[in-house]
């Protein structure tokens, strides 16, 4: 019903992908939920207004869930909703009507529809303050403000910060079934940690020698996993690695000026031994030229 | 060092390869049997961000003719930002080498992903040729250094 005159709309136009899938608007990604949601709304509108003309302008139909394609086909074939492949260029107000001007990609001609109601399916966006939350938690996020999973295939609910899990739209556009399955996975991942009395971790972590540490906290700056925190040792500030959070990249070890940080695997001693080993002169061979000796 | 030995010599290159990308790329180059010079000796490190300037100097003191650092492509680091630290350190190392009188071309930083075996062979070949052209030894090499 149109509030200004109390009349039910006789022509309804749905426009897909408003602001999304458009690199020029800065949102090249697909919002994923709207094809199905629009078809659903169109079918509901049809049930309320059996005589109305209903149009749906789309780029492609991306209803890829279980049973979704069938639903969209039902909307087209049984519910008599006109799906037009084309991206509307503009909507003009003319004599109380909204004129939608678009192309019709199948006929190759421009098309105009005089509508009483135009429904825009806006692209999904992340929360404005999502980056702020991500920075507070120390987890990664992409250029659109969606949180990053640790691995797209193998670790889809974990973040780079151990113990922080993500599920749903905060990670990227997705529908309810997907959000529920991701949330279930995240809940189990969290339980996995809580169900054990002791936490197991990778042996490849960094460790601070507090006698050498000057407390400059350069290591804290470079740690992507926020695994390094301030600690007190003999009444002075030192760095401390949380071995449950450390992923063992070694960035802090290379950053430590004082050589106070060391890794348990890939430690300095091992790498120096490998380097010098390349130039070691095998026993019984002559010559001081390490480079050549390494080839023999 | 005599002139004769400089001609057509076989350089020794220390390769510090990131475990997740370049090391796997080197492995792929091997398993797909792509030919490249064998002068580079691979040392596996967890991340290019692990490379401390000490590693580079140790290699040069020992007599390495070149040092090759391999990391993941930007935005592709397994540890998200290690390769960016490597890149910053690399830029400083280049000017430091120049300052201490070592040809900066003896050091290189390359991005090779785990699927780029052919690219690995390409960059290694290129670097080896470059190091060959510079001759030996590097000015930091210490003769008779105990290893």
Taking the mean position of all CA atoms in its chain, how far away is CA B142?
Answer: 19
The mean pLDDT of chain A is 90
Query: Is A266 close to B14, i.e. CB distance below 8 A?
Result: no
Strands (E), chain B: 13-18, 40-45, 66-71, 107-111
User: pLDDT tens digits, residue range A229-255?
Assistant: 999 999 999 999 999 889 899 999 999
Joined tokens for residue A92:
């003009």
Query: Is A290 close to B79, i.e. CB distance below 8 A?
Result: no
Closest in A253, A278, A288 to B14, CB measured: A278
User: CB of A7 within 8 Å of any CB in chain B?
Assistant: no
Query: Is B14 close to A277, i.e. CB distance below 8 A?
Result: no
pLDDT at position B94 is: 95
pLDDT at position B1 is: 45
Whose tokens are 């390495």? That residue is: B64
A contacts of B83 (beta carbons < 8 Å) = none
User: Nearest 5°: CA angle at A155, between A152 and A156?
Assistant: 55
Cβ contacts of A213 within 8 Å, gap of 6 or more = A233, A238, A239, A258, A260, A261
Which residues of chain B are modeled with pLDDT < 70? 1-8, 144-147
Joined tokens for residue B32:
């797909």
User: Nearest 5°: CA angle at A254, between A253 and A257?
Assistant: 90
Q: How far is CA A280 from CA A77, A160, A228, A266, A272, in A?
A: 78, 40, 37, 20, 12
Helix, strand, coil: what percent of chain B each, to 5? 45, 15, 40
Closest residue in chain A to residue B55, using alpha carbons only? A272
pLDDT at position A229 is: 93
Q: Which of A148, A158, A122, A119 is nearest to A14 (CA)?
A: A119
Cβ distance A101 to A90 under 8 Å? yes
- Measured in residues, chain B has a length of 147
pLDDT at position B145 is: 55
B contacts of A279 (beta carbons < 8 Å) = 12, 62-64, 147
Closest in A266, A281, A294 to B46, CB measured: A266
> What's the pTM?
0.62
Cβ distance A124 to A134 under 8 Å? no
Q: Which of A89, A99, A5, A10 is nearest to A50 (CA)?
A: A10
pLDDT at position B42 is: 94
- Assign B74 to helix, strand or coil: coil
Q: Which of B120, B132, B111, B128 is nearest to B34 (CA)?
A: B120
DSSP letter for each residue of B5-20: HHTT----EEEEEETT
CA distance A265 to chain B (A): 9
Number of Cα atoms under 13 Å in the Cβ half of residue A118: 21
Interface ipTM above 0.90: no
A contacts of B46 (beta carbons < 8 Å) = 204, 248-250, 263, 265-266
Which residues of chain A are modeled with pLDDT < 50? 286-296
Cβ distance A227 to A246 under 8 Å? yes
Q: Which of B84, B68, B85 is nearest to B23 (CA)?
A: B68
User: pLDDT tens digits, residue range B32-57?
Assistant: 999 999 999 999 999 999 999 999 99
Residue A15: what are its φ and ψ, rounded to 5°? -115, 120
CA distance A164 to chain B (A): 16
pLDDT at position A289 is: 47
């Amino acid at each position: 019903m149109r509030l200004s005159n109390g009349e039910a709309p006789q022509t309804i136009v749905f426009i897909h992908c408003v602001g999304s899938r458009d690199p020029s608007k800065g949102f090249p990604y697909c919002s994923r939920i709207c094809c199905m949601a629009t078809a659903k709304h169109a079918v509901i509108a049809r049930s309320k207004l059996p005589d109305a003309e209903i149009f749906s302008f789309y780029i492609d139909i991306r209803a890829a869930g279980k049973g979704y394609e069938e639903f969209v086909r039902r909307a087209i074939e049984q519910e008599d909703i006109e799906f037009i492949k084309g991206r509307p260029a503009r909507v003009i107000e003319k004599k109380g009507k909204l004129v939608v001007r678009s192309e019709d990609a199948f006929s190759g001609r421009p098309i105009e529809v005089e509508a009483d109601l135009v429904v825009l399916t806006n692209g999904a966006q992340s929360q404005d303050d999502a980056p702020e939350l991500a920075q507070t938690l120390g987890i990664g996020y992409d250029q659109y403000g969606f949180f990053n999973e640790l691995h797209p295939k193998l670790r889809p609910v974990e973040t780079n910060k151990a113990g922080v899990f993500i599920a749903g739209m905060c990670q990227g556009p997705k529908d309810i079934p997907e959000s529920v399955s991701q949330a279930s996975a995240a809940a189990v991942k969290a339980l996995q940690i809580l169900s054990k009395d002791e936490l197991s971790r990778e042996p490849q972590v960094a460790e601070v020698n507090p006698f050498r540490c000057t407390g400059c906290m350069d290591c804290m700056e470079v740690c992507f996993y926020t695994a390094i925190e301030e600690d007190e040792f003999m009444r002075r500030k030192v760095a401390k690695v949380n071995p449950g959070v450390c992923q063992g990249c070694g960035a802090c070890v290379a950053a430590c000026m004082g050589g106070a940080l060391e890794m348990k695997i890939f430690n300095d001693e091992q790498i120096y031994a490998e380097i010098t080993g390349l130039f070691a002169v095998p026993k019984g061979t002559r010559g001081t030229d390490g480079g050549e000796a390494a080839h023999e | 060092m005599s002139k004769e030995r400089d001609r057509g010599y076989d350089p020794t290159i220390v390769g510090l390869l990131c475990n997740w990308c370049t090391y796997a790329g080197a492995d792929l180059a091997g398993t797909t049997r792509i030919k490249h010079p064998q002068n580079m000796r691979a040392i596996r490190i967890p991340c290019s961000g692990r490379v401390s300037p000490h590693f580079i100097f140790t290699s040069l003191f020992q007599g390495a003719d070149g040092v090759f650092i391999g990391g993941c492509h930007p935005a592709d680091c397994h540890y998200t930002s290690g390769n960016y630290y490597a890149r910053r350190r690399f830029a400083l190392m280049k000017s430091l080498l120049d300052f201490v009188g070592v040809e900066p071309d003896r050091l290189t930083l390359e991005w090779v992903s785990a699927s780029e075996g052919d690219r690995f062979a390409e960059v290694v070949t290129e670097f080896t040729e470059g190091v060959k052209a510079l001759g030996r030894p590097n000015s930091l090499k210490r003769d008779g250094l105990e290893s």
